Structure 1
Amino acid sequence: MPTLRKLPILMALASLNIALPAHAQEEEDFSLDELVVTGTRSGTPILDLAGNTGRISEEEIDLVRPDHITEIVNRVSGVNIQRGNGQEHLTSIRSPVLTGGAGAGSFLFLEDGIPLRAAGFANVNGLFEVNYEQAGGIEIVRGPGSALYGSNAVHGLINVLSRAPSLDLEREIDLSIGPHDLYQMKGTVSDTIGQHGYRLSVNGTTDGGYVSDSGYDQQKVSFRHDYYGDIDSFKTLFSHTNLNQETAGYITGFKAYEDESRSRTNPNPEAYRDAKATRLSTEWERQLTDTSTFRLTPYLRHTEMEFLMHFLPGQPVENNKHSSVGLLAAYTKDLDGGHKVIFGTDFEYTEGELSEVQFNPNPFGSNNFLPGVHYDYEVDATVLAPYIHSEWQVLDKTRVTAGVRYEYTKYDYTNNANSRTYGDRYLRPDSGKDTFSNLSPKLGLVQELSDDTAAFINYARGNRAPQTTDLYRAQIGPSRTGEADSESIDSIEIGVRKVGEGLQYEIAAYHMKKDDYFFTDTNNENVPNGKTNHTGLELGVFYPFNELFDIGVNATFAKHEYDFNKPGNEVNIEKGDYLVTAPKRMGNIRLGWNVTPDTRAELEWVHMSEYYITDGNDKKYDGHDVFNLRASHDVTNNLTLYGKVHNLFNTEYAERADFGGGGGGDYRYFVGEKRYLHVGASYSF
């Protein structure tokens, strides 16, 4: 492993397509797989990290060739993203699967370190807005992010890394076909000419839908340009996504997923989701001296979405959009003795708007779900966040990391509706301003045990300002709109990791306490000040038995509990109850077989234990075990054939289970797909 000082030089030489002499290659042998970028926003040996980072390589993405984000990120311990219909999903990282504002605001989704959405305008389905299918890697931090990342990095963050330009001319086209009229096309062209490298990647998918009256069309494009100079380097990234989806709703009724006649039906054939997302950024890095650099990253963002809220009784239509301009600035200084310090400031300004209109008649009578305009508002948001991140080599094999981030958030809210209340459910606050200030410290220690093994202990606090929907669109209920406060979580974790040849592993244990948890309970009532505890053990292991066979094991054991009491009309919350959709055990075990030097096969076992679907822990989903088989064969240097069999044993299961609250509540499921075959071919020229 080269020193951090030598690494940028080696990477620049590689990018310039300059061959190193044979003896230099031997002396500077290193593996980029041992580097992660999310922790410090630059390449860092994973053994130096005080905390965990799950890594998914470019090669793993190319083997899995995911149709949905769940197929690739759920291979990491502690991660449980549940698939909805089409490209929809709900996320869990060291947490239960969260919904609503909590589901949107508790996880930070990034592309090359830049948030996919503004902090107060997050999307629970946010990962369909990034080109993970053609990414250069995915890194996942479980638990609060470091001082370099602010709002929404409460339970964790997912950073999708763009694929770097190739050293030589690369052109590739990939075509595949699957069940229910599923067709995919991916293409990329890349090269490095002198000091300039570029990559253009496009993909398109059309899917007829697993259930009736469903399916989607989606297109993604990303263009990256890199410039490598002696002093200055630039990385420019443009990304765009378009989704047009016919959405299938929940199947209702106890274990409805076991009923073949019902599991393929769509109770909401009129539901849809149309979304667009566009981002443009340029990262400029200047080498000031041999020991200091300055990085400046301006970016632009625009998103817009329209969808039918089929999961609510009134099924209103929501329109939302926001546009942002932002700037990330950081100064890095390497000090004598192996120390390092980073001073930075993040700034973002956003203009957003949202409307919710119900066209259906009131399903329950009275003033519960009235037709008409429920909400119509605009929000201008400003976020300013200075931070310090430092690393100290206190002893030969002992490294301390310390940092702190201060984040100031201001919402300037304008109500465009004509009255403060609408019926018995909807409350529209008066126009006004809300401000939030949060401080996020971090302290960690890494102890090197050997050249390839290190132990770590890490404390971090995560904070997030409320989502704008938590403040300005919420039911009247016992907790009134505008009572949401900043959510905070304190996390302590301890672990050990081993990298390099042969056996590789990471074991981490954690405990987290969360305050001011804002969520909607089983009674459909907002709770603005909940408290929860989260305790777990995560295990990740990779072991090559020999040149033919290897095994990868990712297992999670967790306990997510309420830490307060709340009486309810139908369901009470008692301290010690499990949170809904919080399985105690999860597992992803993969047996790999290198059949020939040109052929790779993988058998995957996905285990999900039972979990409760009501706050009172009186109803549950029994869990499931699903097996998948993948294979890839290089016919020639230019042609690769691949295929996968999903749900090998045709198990009846639910991708997601929950329970609709209130007097008309029922079991609800997104049904897991039966056995299917997906095949394709990739040709480079």
Structure 2
Amino acid sequence: MLAPYAHAQLTVQGRVIDAYTKEALAGASIQAHQSTVGTLSGPDGSFSLILQTAPASLQVTFLGYVSQQVSVQEGFLLIRLAPAANQLNQVIVSASRQAQARTEAPVAISSISSQILHETKASTLDQVLNKVSGVYMVNLGNEQHTMAIRQPIGYKSLFLYLEDGIPIRTSGDFNHNALIEINMAALKNIEVIRGPASSLYGSEAIGGAVNFITQAPTPVVTAKVQIEASNQGYRRTDFSVSSTFGKLGIYAGGYYAAQRDGIISHSDFDKLAFTLRTDYRITDRSKLTTSATLVDYQTDQTGGLDSTRFFRKEYSSLHTFTYRKVNALRIRSTLEHTWNADNHTQATLFFRRNAIGQNPFYAIANMPGNPLKATGEVNEDAFQSYGFLAQHKKSFQFLNGSLTAGLSADYSPATYTARFLDVDRSEDGVYTGFTPKDSLLTHYAVDLLNTAVYVQAELSPVNRLKLVAALRYDRLDYKFDNFLPPSAFTGAPDEQNRYEQFSPKLGLTYDLGKSKGVYANYSLGFAPPQITELYRGVKVPTLKPSEFRSYEIGGWWSFWQHKAYLDLSVYQMDGQDEIISVRQDNGAYQNQNAGKTRHRGVEYTLHLNPVETWSIRFSGTNARHWFQDYVERGADYSGNEMATAPQFIGNAEVTFKPLFLKGFRMSAEWQRVGRYYMDPVNSETYGGYHLFHARVGYTFKGVEAWLNVLNLSNELYATTVDKYAYGKSYRQGLPRTFQFGVGYQFTAQGK
């Protein structure tokens, strides 16, 4: 202890880091107990505090983290702060592409912290995303998915998926299943914007935008390895190593996952994901961040089950050869420079290479008159992207305002090829094999160019009131080259199409004092026609972008001496010019703009910390989605509920961390998906499901062990159900699943 030196000047040195990611926390406040002497941590989290007398402790605080009182001891102090689940003023970056307090952003946004990611030990992203109110990520097996954020469950490009603010896939090239390409092991946290975010991020950010923020290098040497397995044939290994050498920080990490002998036959998969990131601090004001993520993925494909097989739990697959393969590489390099207290610039160059090959189950069609034959296809969708994004923020003393302006360009040449298959079928309906044919179904190339400029202004005309206005202009150019003779089968003739869109946003926040506030916003989101909607299986491409106008109010309220926190959002979103497939007089189908839809809902999250050892969270959404004016394939659905649109989604969790056993945790989680119609005719409903999960874990000196029990009651449920002309399709959920894992993390003390 430093007590013997109480009458001499002394220096206390240390570093402040995140307790879970081990990243440096720059700008943390370190205050000597019962003293006015204090300092802030530097860019690498380090601090040095000169004291006349030795205090008993230091008070360490950082926005969005639990404050900590640290005993002053001899040597270098390594202070680990834990993210605060109930902290009102969490720091977010997705609302303006720069760090700001949650209460300053007039949007519905939720952050999934590093602590939640660490303690959930999710094998799929839906296990953490579904904790967020208004979000239902549908698990389709082997990390395949679909999404519902302020929209029904569906496969349209109405949600934008970002990695460090850059879209994972290029706009206009179908982004369904894009989250296969996320490296879950390299995540620091996840931010979810609910509602349109097109004024900042452009197209497809309609139902919401999900930003996956990657792990930064640690200021001290860290290394981690963990392995896990389940009783359903799942195996996974995570690994990472990180450190900083002078001005250069390096992080490398990823995971390998495999599925063998699952509950459904022909459902194996393999995935390798790896991320390498370097942060180079050029000066105290400049930093260069470069990261590369590589994903190699392959899975067997299985479709849904009919009602008979689902309720009898007959999980054998009719498909024995269908598959999906993904090879993705993303590289980005960002230069940030702070000119002075009022000016900050960041510029990013990025490259993407992506290829998705499939022998899709949904393309197999039985051959009329021959029960032993069917048709199918193999296809590959590939693109490369070369992109640039630059943004500058300038702050003003006038009305405490700021102006943010940016521009971006994304050039992505893409190709698509589909080849015909002759499929063999057994007498009991199993598709047993196929023979490739020479005939090409589709073969084309498209050059996509997306250019955009945006500006966002913020003003505080009176104390506690903040106004935000934003406008973005997007231009999307498509140059289509069909290598086959154009037809309703092979696609449109060579064509050039251009789409232009202005996306405004107006918002305000008002601080009511005593940790209470309200916000309101109006925003517009849009989605351009996707390549396949424009050119595949059509004769003439004549489509307009879909538009969605959103109106939203909400607020936050911290009460019960900050032991409780409520976040609330109420919204209405009106869609028009949605792209649907309409049957023509000759029996063929044509993609057309048609219809108007309306989406209304209320989203709420309540956090409670009645005592230090217990925390309770409840997230819920009550919503309705219906057609106002909608005709599809000759049927008028105006006034009907939209299909696969749950009216209620809820998630609650109780966590216990006893003081008498530091490092131990246990939690119980409840997931509810309410009833919804299976089809737009509203002829039949699915009642939804209740699920219960239990988790227990213990960490001691870097060694960790955990057990997750998913679907504790072993409920028979479907993650989604659709009804078609030929019957129903149930996507079965996992039965009771035990996931066990062990891991070790090394953290050097460092100086």
Q: TM-score, normalised by structure 1?
A: 0.91
1:168 aligns with 2:201: no
SS in 1 for 2:532: helix
SS in 1 for 2:440: strand
Work out whether residues 419 and 439 of structure 2, in 8 Å CA contact, stay in contact via their aligned partners in 1: yes
1:594 aligns with 2:657: yes
Which of residues 324, 327, 331 in structure 2 aligns to 1:273? Answer: 324
Measured at CA, do residues 398 and 316 of structure 1 come closer, stay the same or move farther in structure 2, by a change above 3 Å? same
SS in 2 for 1:119: coil
More strand by share: 2
SS in 2 for 1:395: coil
1:399 aligns with 2:466: yes
Measured at CA, do residues 598 and 28 of structure 1 come closer, stay the same or move farther in structure 2, by a change above 3 Å? closer
Per-residue displacement from partner, 1:373-420 (whole Å, max 9, x unpaired)?
A: 221110001111001011111110100000100000000100011x22
Work out whether residues 26 and 43 of structure 2, in 8 Å CA contact, stay in contact via their aligned partners in 1: no
Give the stretch that moved more between structures: 242-251 or 509-518: 242-251
Q: Which protein has greater RCO, CA pairs closer than 8 Å, 6+ apart?
A: 1
Rounded Cα–Cα distance in structure 2 between residues aligned with 1:604 and 1:371: 53
Work out whether residues 381 and 411 of structure 1, in 8 Å CA contact, stay in contact via their aligned partners in 2: yes
Per-residue displacement from partner, 1:640-678 (whole Å, max 9, x unpaired)?
A: 1011001100100001211234xxx11101111111211
Rounded Cα–Cα distance in structure 1 between residues aligned with 2:690 and 2:540: 41
Per-residue displacement from partner, 1:26-53 (whole Å, max 9, x unpaired)?
A: 5864335510000111111000011111
Which of residues 164, 169, 173 in structure 2 aligns to 1:117? Answer: 169
1:455 aligns with 2:518: yes
Rounded Cα–Cα distance in structure 2 between residues aligned with 1:610 and 1:245: 30
Work out whether residues 17 and 192 of structure 1, in 8 Å CA contact, stay in contact via their aligned partners in 2: no
Work out whether residues 15 and 167 of structure 1, in 8 Å CA contact, stay in contact via their aligned partners in 2: no
SS in 1 for 2:128: helix
Partner of 1:638: 702
Partner of 2:401: 339
Work out whether residues 258 and 653 of structure 1, in 8 Å CA contact, stay in contact via their aligned partners in 2: no
1:445 aligns with 2:508: yes
Which of residues 125, 135, 140 in structure 2 aligns to 1:79? Answer: 135
- Give the residue type in structure 2 aligned to 1:467: Q
Partner of 1:311: 362
Measured at CA, do residues 525 and 653 of structure 1 come closer, stay the same or move farther in structure 2, by a change above 3 Å? farther
After superposition, residues 575-654 of structure 1 pair within 5 angstroms as 575-595=638-658, 596-634=661-699, 636-654=700-718
Work out whether residues 519 and 528 of structure 1, in 8 Å CA contact, stay in contact via their aligned partners in 2: yes
Q: Quote how far apart the aligned CAs of 1:567 are.
A: 6.3
Q: Quote how far apart the aligned CAs of 1:298 are.
A: 0.5
Which of residues 41, 47, 50 in structure 1 aligns to 2:106? Answer: 50
SS in 1 for 2:626: strand
Which of residues 262, 269, 273 in structure 2 aligns to 1:216? Answer: 269
- Give the residue type in structure 1 aligned to 2:401: H
Give the stretch that moved more between structures: 20-29 or 513-522: 20-29
Rounded Cα–Cα distance in structure 2 between residues aligned with 1:270 and 1:84: 18
1:243 aligns with 2:297: yes
Per-residue displacement from partner, 1:519-562 (whole Å, max 9, x unpaired)?
A: 34899874532211000000111111212222111100000111
Work out whether residues 84 and 655 of structure 1, in 8 Å CA contact, stay in contact via their aligned partners in 2: yes
1:16 aligns with 2:44: yes
Per-residue displacement from partner, 1:424-450 (whole Å, max 9, x unpaired)?
A: xx2511101000000000000100012
Which of residues 232, 237, 241 in structure 2 aligns to 1:185? Answer: 237
Work out whether residues 353 and 383 of structure 2, in 8 Å CA contact, stay in contact via their aligned partners in 1: yes
Measured at CA, do residues 381 and 439 of structure 1 come closer, stay the same or move farther in structure 2, by a change above 3 Å? same
Q: Which runs of 5+ in 2 are unaligned?
A: 1-24, 30-39, 52-56, 66-82, 84-89, 366-374, 426-436, 747-751
Rounded Cα–Cα distance in structure 1 between residues aligned with 2:632 and 2:329: 44
1:197 aligns with 2:259: no
SS in 2 for 1:265: coil
1:376 aligns with 2:439: no
Flag the structure with larger Rg.
Answer: 2
SS in 1 for 2:310: helix
Work out whether residues 328 and 345 of structure 1, in 8 Å CA contact, stay in contact via their aligned partners in 2: yes
Partner of 1:534: 599
1:673 aligns with 2:734: yes
Q: Quote how far apart the aligned CAs of 1:67 are.
A: 1.2
Measured at CA, do residues 126 and 244 of structure 1 come closer, stay the same or move farther in structure 2, by a change above 3 Å? same
- Give the residue type in structure 2 aligned to 1:344: G
Partner of 1:258: 311
Rounded Cα–Cα distance in structure 2 between residues aligned with 1:277 and 1:499: 43
Work out whether residues 154 and 463 of structure 1, in 8 Å CA contact, stay in contact via their aligned partners in 2: yes
Which of residues 249, 264, 284 in structure 2 aligns to 1:230? Answer: 284
Which of residues 182, 185, 191 in structure 2 aligns to 1:139? Answer: 191
- Give the residue type in structure 2 aligned to 1:387: Y
- Give the residue type in structure 1 aligned to 2:284: D
Rounded Cα–Cα distance in structure 2 between residues aligned with 1:383 and 1:499: 42
Work out whether residues 406 and 437 of structure 1, in 8 Å CA contact, stay in contact via their aligned partners in 2: yes
Work out whether residues 580 and 632 of structure 2, in 8 Å CA contact, stay in contact via their aligned partners in 1: no
Measured at CA, do residues 413 and 567 of structure 1 come closer, stay the same or move farther in structure 2, by a change above 3 Å? closer
After superposition, residues 83-122 of structure 1 pair within 5 angstroms as 83-99=139-155, 103=156, 105-122=157-174
SS in 1 for 2:103: helix
Rounded Cα–Cα distance in structure 1 between residues aligned with 2:439 and 2:323: 19
Measured at CA, do residues 58 and 345 of structure 1 come closer, stay the same or move farther in structure 2, by a change above 3 Å? same
SS in 2 for 1:450: coil
Rounded Cα–Cα distance in structure 2 between residues aligned with 1:443 and 1:25: 43
Work out whether residues 137 and 160 of structure 1, in 8 Å CA contact, stay in contact via their aligned partners in 2: yes
Q: Quote how far apart the aligned CAs of 1:594 are.
A: 1.4
Work out whether residues 26 and 42 of structure 2, in 8 Å CA contact, stay in contact via their aligned partners in 1: no
Give the stretch that moved more between structures: 463-472 or 26-35: 26-35
